C-alpha cells in the first residue's frame, strides 16, 4: 500500500535539514522558526544568464536529461525577487551574523546597491574576487575568469575570525629574505628595509586577501563532482564558514544546488539549513550527507541527524518487489520501478518505517542498480522509499 510522507529522517549525515522549496517560499516558515538566530548565510543564486540549466542522470540507454532550474528572469523581476530574499535574510541573521552573496559580472554591481540599502553601507565588509582557471578563452574581450562574492555583516558585533583561515608561510623564501633559526629552534626569515628589520617565521600564518586565486574551479574529473553544472568547491565554502561562524553555529543556504554548503558545514561541525527548488538538488544533498563525516574538532561535536522536508508526491508509481529471508533476516528485493508508466532505474532507494508523515530511513542505497536488496526493519511495519531520476518519489508499506 502506498503512503504519503512530507518529511524524511536520517540518524546520521550532519546536523541539519533540507527543504524542497523555492527560496522565496521557504522564507516565511524559516522566519517563523529561526528569525534572529542564523549566524551565516551563503547565497549562490542564478546569475541571470538567460539559460536553462540541465543535468544528465544515469548511463547508457537509461540516461535522462533533467532540468535543474530556469534562469530567465528579466532584470526588473530579478532584482525585485533578489531584494525580497535579501530582506528575509537580514531578518534571519543574528547580531553577529553575516551574509555572502555569490554572483558574477552580470548582476554583482546592482546586487551591491541592494545590500547597501538593506544591510547599510557601513556594514559592507568585502567585495571578494574568486579568480579561477577554467576552459574557454574569449577573444573579443579579456576572458572572464572570476566571480564576485559580496560580504556584509548584520552589525558591528559580527563574528569574523581570519585566523581560522590562515595558512602557514612554509619554507618558501620571499623578497630575498635571509633564512635563520632562532634560539627556540623556529625557522624564520628576515629582511631589512628603510632602517627596520622585518621577521617572519615558517609557522606564522598568512591570511587570504580579498582576491582568492588559490581555490581552484572544479574540473570535469574532480572527485567532488556531482554533475551539477554550477557546483562550487568545498574549499570555497570551508573558508567562508570557518571565518564567519563557530562550531555549532547555524549556516543557511537558500540555493543548495549540489549541496556543497551543507557538506562543508558538516565537515566543520556547524548546523545547516539547505533549501532548493530542484528535487535533483535534494537527491544530491542526501547522497553527499550520507557519505561524509565531520572533521575532528577540539570542541564537543553536535548531533549528526538530519532531515529532509518536501511536499507529498502523488506521481503515479508502480514497483515490483519480493520479500525473502536472508541469514535469518527479512530483506526486500526491488526488481522494477516505474513512475507515470515509464520504467527507469531509481536515483535512490531506502527501507525504514513511517511515524505520522515522517519516514525514518534505516537502510539506504544512493546509487541503486536494479535488482537490489535492502534489509527490512524488525519491529515496525516496513516501508520502502524510491526516488526517480526526475525527483519523483513514492513510499510503500511492505506487509
Span(s) in the chain for CATH 2.60.40: 317-397
> Could you tell me the pLDDT band of residue 64, with boundaries at 50, 70 and 90?
confident
d(CA 399, CA 381): 7
Tens-place pLDDT, residues 339-363:
987 777 789 999 999 999 999 999 9
pLDDT for the residue numbered 296 = 45
The DSSP result for 193-248, as a single string, is ETTEEEEEETTSEE---SEE-SSPPPPTT-TT--S-TTPPPHHHHHHHHHHH--TT
pLDDT tier for residue 175 given thresholds of 50, 70 and 90 = low
At residue 179, the pLDDT reads 81
Phi, psi (deg, nearest 5) at residue 206: -110, 130
Partners of residue 128 on adjacent β-strands: 149
Higher per-residue pLDDT: 192 or 237: 237
Cα–Cα distance measured from residue 137 to residue 139, given in angstroms and rounded to the nearest whole number: 7
CA dihedral 82, 84, 90, 93 (to 10 degrees): -90
- For CATH 3.40.50.150, list the domain ranges present in the chain: 13-161+210-302
Give the tens place of pLDDT for each residue, 90-124: 999 999 999 999 999 999 999 999 999 999 999 99
Reported as type and span, the H/E element at residue 9 is strand 7-10
- Cα dihedral sign for 369, 17, 21, 112? negative
**Whole-prediction pTM:** 0.91
pLDDT above 80: residue 60:
no
- Which of 3.40.50.1370, 3.20.20.70, 3.40.50.150, 3.60.150.10 is the CATH number of 13-161+210-302? 3.40.50.150
Q: Which CATH class is domain 317-397?
A: mainly beta
Mind listing the pLDDT tens digit for each residue in 271-314? 999 999 999 999 999 999 998 854 444 444 445 789 999 999 99
Question: What is the rounded average pLDDT of the residues 14-37?
Answer: 97
For the stretch 364-375, pLDDT in tens is 999 899 999 999
Amino acid at each position: 500500500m502506498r503512503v504519503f510522507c512530507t518529511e524524511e529522517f536520517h540518524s546520521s549525515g550532519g546536523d541539519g535539514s533540507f527543504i524542497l522549496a523555492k527560496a522565496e517560499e521557504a522564507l516565511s516558515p524559516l522566519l517563523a522558526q529561526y528569525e534572529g538566530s542564523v549566524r551565516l548565510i551563503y547565497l549562490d543564486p542564478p546569475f541571470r544568464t538567460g539559460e536553462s540549466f540541465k543535468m544528465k542522470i544515469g548511463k547508457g540507454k537509461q540516461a535522462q536529461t533533467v532540468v535543474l532550474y530556469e534562469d530567465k528572469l528579466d532584470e526588473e523581476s530579478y532584482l525585485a525577487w533578489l531584494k525580497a530574499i535579501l530582506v528575509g535574510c537580514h531578518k534571519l541573521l543574528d547580531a553577529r551574523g553575516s551574509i555572502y552573496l555569490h554572483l558574477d559580472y552580470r548582476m554583482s554591481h546592482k546586487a551591491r546597491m541592494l545590500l547597501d540599502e538593506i544591510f547599510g553601507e557601513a556594514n559592507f565588509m568585502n567585495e571578494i574576487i574568486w579568480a579561477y582557471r577554467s576552459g574557454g578563452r574569449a577573444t573579443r574581450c579579456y576572458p572572464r575568469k572570476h566571480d564576485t562574492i559580496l560580504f556584509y555583516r548584520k552589525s558591528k558585533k559580527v563574528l569574523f575570525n581570519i585566523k581560522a583561515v590562515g595558512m602557514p608561510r612554509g619554507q618558501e623564501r620571499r623578497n630575498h629574505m635571509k633564512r635563520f633559526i632562532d634560539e627556540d629552534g623556529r625557522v624564520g626569515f628576515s629582511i631589512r628595509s628603510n632602517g627596520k628589520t622585518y621577521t617572519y617565521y615558517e609557522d606564522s600564518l598568512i591570511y587570504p586577501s580579498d582576491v582568492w586565486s588559490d581555490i581552484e574551479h572544479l574540473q570535469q574529473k574532480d572527485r567532488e563532482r556531482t554533475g551539477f553544472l554550477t557546483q562550487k568547491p568545498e574549499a570555497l565554502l570551508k573558508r567562508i564558514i570557518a571565518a564567519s561562524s563557530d562550531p555549532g553555529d547555524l549556516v543557511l543556504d537558500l540555493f543548495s544546488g549540489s549541496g556543497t554548503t551543507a557538506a562543508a558545514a558538516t565537515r566543520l561541525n556547524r548546523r545547516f539549513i539547505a533549501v532548493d527548488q530542484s528535487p535533483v538538488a535534494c537527491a544530491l544533498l542526501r547522497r553527499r550527507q550520507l557519505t561524509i563525516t565531520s572533521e575532528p574538532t577540539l570542541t564537543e561535536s553536535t548531533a549528526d541527524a538530519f532531515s529532509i522536508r518536501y511536499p507529498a508526491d502523488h506521481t503515479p508509481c508502480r514497483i515490483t518487489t519480493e520479500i525473502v529471508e536472508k541469514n535469518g533476516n527479512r530483506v526486500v528485493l526491488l526488481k522494477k520501478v516505474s513512475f507515470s508508466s515509464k520504467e527507469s532505474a531509481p536515483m535512490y532507494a531506502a527501507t525504514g518505517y513511517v511515524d505520522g508523515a515522517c519516514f525514518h530511513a534505516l537502510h539506504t542505497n544512493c546509487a541503486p542498480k536494479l535488482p537490489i536488496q535492502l534489509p527490512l526493519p524488525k519491529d515496525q511495519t516496513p516501508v520502502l522509499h524510491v526516488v526517480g531520476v526526475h525527483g519523483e518519489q513514492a513510499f510503500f508499506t511492505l506487509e
